[in-house]
Amino acid sequence: MKEERVVPLLLVLHWKHGAGSPLPITPVNATCAIRHPCHNNLMNQIRSQLAQLNGSANALFILYYTAQGEPFPNNLDKLCGPNVTDFPPFHANGTEKAKLVELYRIVVYLGTSLGNITRDQKILNPSALSLHSKLNATADILRGLLSNVLCRLCSKYHVGHVDVTYGPDTSGKDVFQKKKLGCQLLGKYKETIAVLAQAF
């Protein structure tokens, strides 16, 4: 019973900078258990959070590629195209349950990737405070969104376990590759979040 309760907590804790490997947690036979009751207007909150993310995604993308210097701002299609491997799929015409499960996977993926990007940028661009601030704010909203999605999955669909994948670990990459992967991820994020905001 205790193990089941810590699942969401571990998921959130796992979003530390540098995370990148799959979580060896959540027993297969885990059932859904929530520490606190979910809000009545959970879906509204989810929609609101998606809209909030969608509203700031482009600004974050611009801040990022500007801070990387040339050739990034002038070669967005080549360097920042949404060519992200293993990015969880999303089907807008699915059921709410299926969409929520896919949303959960995407948010987990984005959360870990943003953690990597934030870590890298704090080292590479220590003076780009507005970028850091935007990255942190986005990560905060993603955490809240993840919690709400999980709450919804648990409370309505009794889904206590979702297999997830995480963003690529960039720690071993060279600096240019880190910049490029971050840019691609944020380009993908901008594209995906627009679809998600529309789908809910």
The least CB distance from residue 15 to other proteins, in Å, is: 23
Residue from 6, 124, 141, 195 touching other proteins (CB under 8 A): that is 124
Stretch in the footprint of other proteins (CB under 8 A) among 11-19, 49-57, 62-70, 111-119? 62-70
Question: Count of residues binding other proteins (CB under 8 A)?
Answer: 17
Nearer to other proteins, 99 or 188 (CB): 188
Residue from 56, 125, 155, 165 touching other proteins (CB under 8 A): that is 125
- Closest Cα to residue 146, out of 11, 30, 5, 24? 11
**Cα separations (Å) of 157 from 8, 33, 145, 150, 200?**
16, 12, 17, 10, 17
Structure tokens that stand for 61 in this block: 């993308």
Give start and end residues of each alpha helix (H) in 125-170: 129-157
Nearer to other proteins, 68 or 118 (CB): 68
Residue 37 preceded by cis peptide, ω within 30: no
Under the binding rule (CB under 8 A), the answer on residue 130 touching other proteins is no
Q: Which residues bind other proteins (CB under 8 A)?
A: 68-72, 75, 78-79, 123-126, 174-176, 179-180
